[in-house]
Amino acid sequence: MTALLRQTAIETKLFLRRKDELLWTLAFPILFMVLFGVIYGNSSWSGMNMRSVDFLMPGIIVMGAMVTGIMRTSTGFVQEREKGIYRRLSLTPLKRETLIASHLLQHYLVIIVQTLLLVGVGIYIFNVKISGNPLLFWLILSAGALCFMSIGFALTGLMKTARTSTPVTQMTYFIMMFLGGVFFPNSMLPKALEPIANALPSAQMSTALRQVLYEHAGIGDVWRHLVVIALWVVVSYLISLKVFRWE
C-alpha cells in the first residue's frame, strides 16, 4: 500500500508538470460547459422539464470522465509500452502491477477533480440547482470511472503502436459521447439508433447522474444503470485479460 501511494504521488507530480496534458484534461470539459452554457443560457429543449444547461452538466461530467478514463489510460499506456518503460521497470523493485494501479488511482483522482470543477462552474456561473444523495452520485461516478478505465485498458491490447492509439481511442470516445446522451437526449436520435445508444455506458451513466441530481432518485431507481455499467466493466476486463500486453 505504501508503494502504491508513493507511486501515485509521483504520477500526480508528473501529470502536474505536463502543462499541455493538464490543460487538455481539466480545461477541456470546463470549456465545453462554459461554451454550451453561454449558447443555451436559460433555454430548454422541447419536451424537457429542465433547462438545457441543467441537462448538459451531467453529460459533460461523463465526457470528462471519458477523456481521462479512455483516452489518457489507453494512449498513455501504449506510449509508455512502446518506449520500453515497462520492460526497464521489470528490472527494478517496483512491480508493474503497482505502477498500473497507481496510474488508475491517479486517473480516478483527476476525474474527481474534473467533476468538482464542473459542478462548481454549473452552480456558481449558471445557477444549476442540484439535489439528491451525494453518496449515490459518487457511487455512479466511481462506477463510470472504473468502466471507462477498463475500456481504456481493453483498447491498449488492440493497439500495437502509439500512432494507431489516437484514432482508435478518438473513435471510441466520440461514439460514446455523441450517442451517450451527453449533449442531447437519446430520444432525439433516429429510432434505429436508440437501442444501441441506450446500451452504452456513457448513456447509462449520464441518465443515472441526472436522475440523482435533479429527481431525488435513490438506489432503487438507478440500480439497472449500475448493472449495465458493471457488465461493461466485466466484459472490458475479460477482453483485457485476453489481449493485454506489457511489451
Q: pLDDT tens digit string along 84-97?
A: 777 776 667 767 67
pTM score, whole prediction: 0.89
Question: What's the rounded Cα separation, in Å, for the pair 85 and 247?
Answer: 9
Cell of 222: 438507478
> What is the rounded average pLDDT of the residues 142-159?
86
Q: pLDDT tens digit string along 54-105?
A: 888 999 999 999 988 888 878 777 777 777 777 776 667 767 677 778 878 8
Domain regions of the chain by residue span: 2-243
Q: Are 113 and 192 in contact (CB under 8 A)?
A: no
Question: What's the rounded Cα separation, in Å, for the pair 15 and 8?
Answer: 10
